[in-house]
Structure 1
Amino acid sequence: MTSSSTIDPVLARPGRASRWFRSSDGRLTLWQLPNPALWVWLAALVLGRLDLSAAHATAVDGVRHGALIVWALDEVVRGSSPFRRVLGAVVLVAQVASLVTA
């Protein structure tokens, strides 16, 4: 009988798609509750939908981008699965590119 915290040898074979979505202990980690950086991003996203003055809109936009950059860096460094680390890297590149081209 296998424990739920061990990696199934069939899933651990290179080339298996599910390996990209599993943590080192074999848990599926595609979705997790948002961490604080994502809560800040969501709040800034909602605030950005309001009719704000130009100065406030710029500040909220900066907070929104900053929160996503913090989240992406966290995922690149501490992501629980290869998919989450790659997703963090993609979001980080997209955010830096949007700031450079702005």
Structure 2
Amino acid sequence: MENTLIDKTFRDSDGNIVIAQMPNLPLIVWVVTSLLALVFTNGQINTVLEVVANGSLFTWAWMELFQGVNYFRRTLGFVVLIALIASKVM
């Protein structure tokens, strides 16, 4: 099988097409803390939840960028990382 750009973009090392995967721990932490931040909308608990949520999303994006199984997953990590940084700068 020839390694085309499409194969490198969407296939993992086993040849499986990978677009979505089971969430790993940083992504699960991000979802849970983001939902809790919607419940606790003010005070120190909200601040802590937002910091943990942003930190875990940053960690997930960083892991995808450098350890993603294919180019699509690495690009997804890069886009989320840039979006997260841009949302905090602006």
State the TM bucket, normalised to the shorter chain.
Answer: 0.7 to 0.9
Root-mean-square deviation (Å): 1.6
Look up the match of 1:56. Answer: 45
The one of 28, 31, 44 aligned to 2:20: 31
The one of 64, 68, 71 aligned to 1:79: 68
With the length of structure 1 as denominator, give the TM-score of the two structures. Answer: 0.78
**Which structure 1 residue ranges, 4+ long, deviate > 4 Å from structure 2?**
none
**Uncovered stretches (5+) of structure 2, i.e. residues with no partner:** none
The structure in which a higher percent of residues are helix is 2
Look up the match of 2:4. Answer: 13
With the length of structure 2 as denominator, give the TM-score of the two structures. Answer: 0.87
In the comparison of the two structures, how many residue pairs are matched? Answer: 90
